Every structure is written in C-alpha cells, then in structure tokens.
Amino acid sequence: MPDWQNLSAETVPAYLASVPELAGRVDVGALEPVVEVGDGNLNLVFVVRDAHGASLVLKQSLPHVRTDPSWPMTRERSAREALILGRHQAIDPGHVPALYHFDRAHYVLAIEDLSDHVVWRGELNAGRPHEYAAAELGRYVARVAFGTSVLGLDPLEQKRVVAAAVNPELCEITEDLVFTEPYIDHEHNRVLPANKADVDALRSDRELLREIGLLKFAFMTRAQALIHGDLHTGSVFVRAAGDGLPASVRAFDSEFGFYGPIAFDLGAVWANLLLAAARSTALGDDARAAVLLAELPERLWRAFETELRALWPRRLDPRVWGDDMLELLLAEVRHDAAGYAAAKAVRRIVGFAKVSDIETLDEGPREGAARGVLRAARGLAVLRNDDADVARLSAAALAVLRGTATR
C-alpha cells in the first residue's frame, strides 16, 4: 500500500486513482502536471487539472507548521476544517469553495478549484481593492452566524456540532499569537529597531491590556457560532465581474474555526483592511487608503447588519428573542469587532506570521506604517467603549495612519 501521508506532485495522480469518491471529478488517465501551490503557514495544496478542463484542489495537512517544521501541529485540524467547510457550504455555498470529499485517513480535503479567482491580499497589495468583497464577507459572516448558532440551528443539533468542532490546538495558537505573545517578550516577536519603543508603549498601556484581556476571555468562552477563525485577506479569493460572470468572493482555509464569537471574523477583515490602508498610506496613496479604511469596514458592517436583520424573522425562539434583543446583540458584536480588529492588527505587526502588506515595504515607510497600525489599533480597542460606530472608528484610525507615515 503506497504511503499517502505526505503527498507530492508526483504521487497525487496515483493517490487520486485510489479514491473512488473522486473518480468523476477529474480524468486521472489524462492529468496535466500537478502543481503544488501552498503558500500559507501550514499545509500542502495541489492543483489538479485534466486535459478536458476539469480540475480540483487537494489540501493535505502536515504534522507540523510548514514554515517551521520544528513546531508540531495536529493533523486533526483537517477533520475540523472539513466539518466547518461542509457546514458553511450548506448555509452559504456562494461564499466558500465547494467541498467534494474528505479523506480522514490521510488528512486530505478535495475542494473546488478556484484558479479563476485571486487571493485578495495580493490584489490589495497590487492596488486593486475589489471593494465588493467587503460586503460579501459581511453577508457570509451573518449567514454563518445565524445558521450555525442557536438562532437558526436546532439546539440539540447545535450542541452536537459544538462538540465535533472543538479545536483546542488551533485555538491555542490563536490565543497565544493574537492575544498573548505580542504583549510579552517572546521569541516569535520581531519588529524594526525603530518600532521597539512603539511596542514598549503598547505593553505598558494598562487600558489597552485590559481590553485585550477581555477580548481573549471572550474568544475563549463565547461559543456563539461556528466561525471561520482566520478570516484575513489571505484567506479570501476574489474574482471581479467580467466575461459574463458575476463577481465572486470565497472564504477558504477555515481550519482555525470553532464555536467562538461572531465578531472575531468581522474583526479579522477589518484588521486586514487597516493593514492594507497602512500600506497605501506608506506608499503615498491617501485616496486608496481612504477607500480601504474609511469605506470598506463600514460596508462590511452594514452588509453583516442588514443580512442578520433579514434573517432575524426566522429565529427559532421568537418567544423570548425579541427585536430588542437583536439591537443589543448587534451592538455587542459591533463593539467586539472593533476590539478583535485591534488584536488582529497588532499581532501582524509584532508577532509570528506577518503580512506582505507591511513586510514588503522598504524600511523607511515600514517604520511609520507599523507605528500607525499599532496606534490605530490601540484606538480601536479603547475608543470603542465611548463610540463603537464603525465609520467613525475607522476614520480615526485613518487619521492616525496619516499622522505617523514615514518615508
């Protein structure tokens, strides 16, 4: 029996031939050369095409962090991703790749090939914002929030899914990398020498640390919905409308998902728009920065709110979940989203797993961009307690970016 535990471009054709469930997806007798395209921190990703134009993607988890083989990582994350992707697909098929099959024995997901899409982060870096993506992600988060929470899912079934989706090891990574390590001395952290004082300021800011502590506690305890868990712009495929096809936005790589706070995914998108805006500001493109930060987080939020309001009449227990509760729930999610945006932005500047938006800047502009993100994030985390309006918080963040830019 061949060893399929570590697939390679060379072994994928024979592997595919051994999986009857995938027999109709591609013609294994007429495959084009398989290409490994994984560029994330964790997994192998193979694009498989046949001579007739059919294709699929195989994603296999490695038993360690791809970018750091000394860091072990459970392969059970594949089963959790298959569960999450399957659930999200059932609720909102237009916003995720289709899941064709999951091979539990070999930790391989077979999913839809979205090669006609591009990763949003790369597009943002190249100055192509794909503005429509923000609202699509807002709708996706709302549909998942409603459809996987007790608002829309039978409570007995919901508890079974909560149990199946427990994701301790990957949650621990998020708890460490997002909520703890940036605020302590840790070997994962790295900043420019010129930004060391900015990090020191963060760590001695009691008000900020209190908010981060509350956010970490909520992340670890608020099992509201089966969230994506890592919804940064590198986890989003976009395809602009054209050639008779509509625009398309798909969230992929949900292996960090679990039953957590609804606001976490919104905060992740908002944080990455802040990072993209910091890049634009650093490159002297204030107009683009304004679109990215003064407009898109607001569009994200409006779409989320509108979709959740539209779904609300279908809630399962209107006897006690009245319209007044919806208002309070929305206010809580909006407040938390600003906090999670802050935490998710800080981690990309200080800690492990940085982002190309900032890292590919020259040192001169990178210094100011990093400083701007840290100070803007601090504002999001703290100012939200006085006024959690997404547009006003984002406008304040944009002003901070402009005030800290260096060349």
Give yes or no for residue 123 binding Mg ion (CB under 5 A).
Answer: no
Chain positions 1 to 30 lying near Mg ion, rule: CB under 5 A, are none
* Radius of gyration of the chain from its Cα atoms, rounded to whole angstroms: 21
Give yes or no for residue 164 binding ligand SR1 (CB under 6 A).
Answer: no
Stretch that binds ligand SR1, among 158-166, 171-179, 201-209, 367-375 (CB under 6 A): 171-179
Give yes or no for residue 353 binding ligand SR1 (CB under 6 A).
Answer: yes
Closest of 197, 174, 125, 127 to residue 361, by C-alpha? 125
Chain positions 234 to 273 lying near Mg ion, rule: CB under 5 A, are 253
Residue choice 103, 113, 198, 230 for contact with ligand SR1 (CB under 6 A): 230
For residue 349, give Cα distances in angstroms to 31, 50, 214, 290: 42, 41, 21, 21
Structure tokens at 119: 């990763």
Kindly tell me which of 70 and 204 has the beta carbon lying closer to ligand SR1.
70
Residue choice 173, 355, 369, 401 for contact with ligand SR1 (CB under 6 A): 173
Q: How many residues bind to ligand SR1 according to rule CB under 6 A?
A: 11
Contact (Cβ atoms closer than 8 angstroms) between residue 36 and residue 18: no
d(CA 17, CA 29): 9
Residue choice 11, 41, 55, 189 for contact with ligand SR1 (CB under 6 A): 41
Give yes or no for residue 44 binding ligand SR1 (CB under 6 A).
Answer: no
Stretch that binds ligand SR1, among 35-43, 106-114, 288-296, 356-364 (CB under 6 A): 35-43
Kindly tell me which of 113 and 176 has the beta carbon lying closer to ligand SR1.
176
Kindly tell me which of 170 and 349 has the beta carbon lying closer to Mg ion.
170
Residue choice 31, 177, 238, 282 for contact with ligand SR1 (CB under 6 A): 177
Kindly tell me which of 43 and 394 has the beta carbon lying closer to ligand SR1.
43
The secondary structure of 167-228 as a DSSP string is: -HHHHHHHHHHHHTGGGS--TT----GGGHHHHHHHHT-HHHHHHHHHHHHHHHH---EEE-
Residue 34 CB partners (closer than 8 Å, separation 6+): 9, 10, 12, 13, 46, 47, 48
Residue nearest to Mg ion (CB): 253
Chain positions 121 to 140 lying near ligand SR1, rule: CB under 6 A, are none
Residue choice 65, 133, 290, 303 for contact with ligand SR1 (CB under 6 A): 65
Q: Taking CB within 5 to 8 Å according to partner kind, which of Mg ion, ligand SR1, none is near residue 271?
A: none
Closest of 216, 73, 88 to residue 149, by C-alpha? 88
d(CA 297, CA 269): 8
Kindly tell me which of 40 and 339 has the beta carbon lying closer to Mg ion.
40
Where do we find the tokens 């407040």? 335
Give yes or no for residue 74 binding ligand SR1 (CB under 6 A).
Answer: no
- One-letter amino acid at 165 equals A
Closest of 16, 12, 25 to residue 53, by C-alpha? 25
Structure tokens at 375: 């100070």
Give yes or no for residue 84 binding ligand SR1 (CB under 6 A).
Answer: no
Contact (Cβ atoms closer than 8 angstroms) between residue 87 and residue 148: yes
Give yes or no for residue 40 binding Mg ion (CB under 5 A).
Answer: yes
HEC profile for 97-138? Answer: CCEEEEECCCCEEEECCCCCCEEHHHHHHCCCCCCHHHHHHH
Give yes or no for residue 57 binding ligand SR1 (CB under 6 A).
Answer: no
Kindly tell me which of 65 and 124 has the beta carbon lying closer to ligand SR1.
65
Contact (Cβ atoms closer than 8 angstroms) between residue 196 and residue 350: no
Q: How far is the CB of 403 from Mg ion (least distance, A)?
A: 32
Residues that bind ligand SR1 (CB under 6 A): 40-42, 65, 173-174, 177, 230, 256, 352-353
Residues that bind Mg ion (CB under 5 A): 40, 253
